[in-house]
Amino acid sequence: MDSPATDLSQKLSREAEAVCRQYLSNGRKHGNYWVVGDVDNTPGRSLYIRLSGPTRGKGAAGKWTDAATGEHGDLLDLIAANLNLSTLRDTLEEARRFLSLPRPEPSARQPQTPVARGSPEAARRLWAMGQPITGTLAERYLSARGLKGLRSVGALRFHPNCYYWREDADANDRPDAWPALLAKVTDNTGTLTGVHRTWLDPQTEAKAPLDPNRKSMGNLLGHAVRFGSPTDILAVGEGLETMLSLRQALSSLTVAAALSGNHLAAFDPPADRRRLYVAIDNDGAGQAAFDALVERFADSDLHLLPLRPMLDDFNGDLRKCGIDEMRSHLRPQLSPVDVPTLLAVETG
């Protein structure tokens, strides 16, 4: 009798292309293979996954190899690496979620070890329970803020019933539960360190009537929610919507959301960066964060360039002024060497 892992691996192999489209959306089909940069869904051609073949043995569907690193495995290994899952139990649970299979009966499972609320491990478990935002309340919420075309963004997920612990709750109180937009916080290597939650109201499709309606868990210091493939140009700012709006205007720009002014001031850019754009919200906290970054890197080779919105932040600019006006406003703030890349659509 096959083990649960072997059984799920074979089931996944029958859906190999669907698995690739879900977890490696930046890749593409090439003959009998799915080709992408790596297990973290970076665009490229180093990693290739067989899409058809037997469910086990030589030439099996779902077998993959990364030519750059020599890593290889099956689709369970791929899912674990893509989501930074460290235990087999969590990997099997994610596979069952993808395949829409029921969980094993309670008697067949060992109880999951409790973890501290708000810890990085709790954040990792919450992220593993999320689902793609396609067709969800999270996608509608973002669309209402002018943010579209985000279905394949791997740093965002949706949880239909995410716990909310009130600030004044007693030790014996149970948490509320609301739908939530989840955002994956990572370090410079792409490792998950935390999760940011924005609770949503299914009636209004706006933020939930909670105070606060946004919270983060895990280790955020120096890290951020990242959108886009790694390049030599990076912009960092505070809020999710702010940085997604900036990326809507400059679609080839890789952006990072540090999630608050204090965390923006503490952001650790990749060591090889020589130029870092900083999106500054039009308030005292935004300017203070930029000043702190300038002071931190005063003796380094890193060149900091401010990007200032027309209104309070770039999401306000997007919604009230539109992309064309945003691009015109941003152009003189960009380094001349970056204009051909970041404004290629407009100048080409």
pLDDT one-digit tens code per residue, 102-146: 766 554 445 556 777 788 889 988 998 888 888 899 999 999 999
Q: Is 96 helix (H, G, I), strand (E, B) or coil?
A: helix
The answer, yes or no, to whether residue 82 has pLDDT greater than 90, is no
Q: Is 275 helix (H, G, I), strand (E, B) or coil?
A: strand
Domains in the chain: boundaries = 4-99, 120-218, 224-347
For domain 4-99, the CATH class is: alpha beta
Looking at residue 112, its pLDDT comes to 58
Token pair 């935004």: residue? 286
Q: Is 318 helix (H, G, I), strand (E, B) or coil?
A: helix
**pLDDT higher for 228 or 51?**
51
Taking the mean position of all CA atoms in its chain, how far away is CA 188? 13
CB atoms within 10 A of CB 337: 9
CB atoms within 10 A of CB 102: 6
CB 136 within 8 A of CB 156: no
The answer, yes or no, to whether residue 252 has pLDDT greater than 80, is yes
120-218 folds as DNA primase DNAg catalytic core, N-terminal domain (3.90.980)
Please compute the mean of the pLDDT values over residues 62-73 and round it to a whole number.
86
pTM of the entire predicted model: 0.71
Q: What's the rounded Cα separation, in Å, for the pair 94 and 113?
A: 17
Please compute the mean of the pLDDT values over residues 33-60 and round it to a whole number.
89
Q: What's the rounded Cα separation, in Å, for the pair 314 and 253?
A: 14
Confidence class for position 169, pLDDT limits 50, 70, 90:
low
Q: What's the rounded Cα separation, in Å, for the pair 33 and 324?
A: 39
pLDDT digits (tens, 9 = 90+) for 185-241: 999 888 899 999 999 999 999 999 999 999 999 999 999 999 987 778 899 999 999
Exposed, middle or buried by CB within 10 Å (0-12, 13-18, 19+), for 25? middle
Q: What's the rounded Cα separation, in Å, for the pair 334 and 348?
A: 17
Q: What's the rounded Cα separation, in Å, for the pair 307 and 281?
A: 9
Q: Is 27 helix (H, G, I), strand (E, B) or coil?
A: coil
The answer to which of 12-21, 95-104, 134-143, 298-307 has the lowest mean pLDDT is 95-104
CB atoms within 10 A of CB 166: 11
Q: What's the rounded Cα separation, in Å, for the pair 100 and 102?
A: 7
Average pLDDT, rounded, for the chain: 89
For domain 224-347, the CATH class is: alpha beta
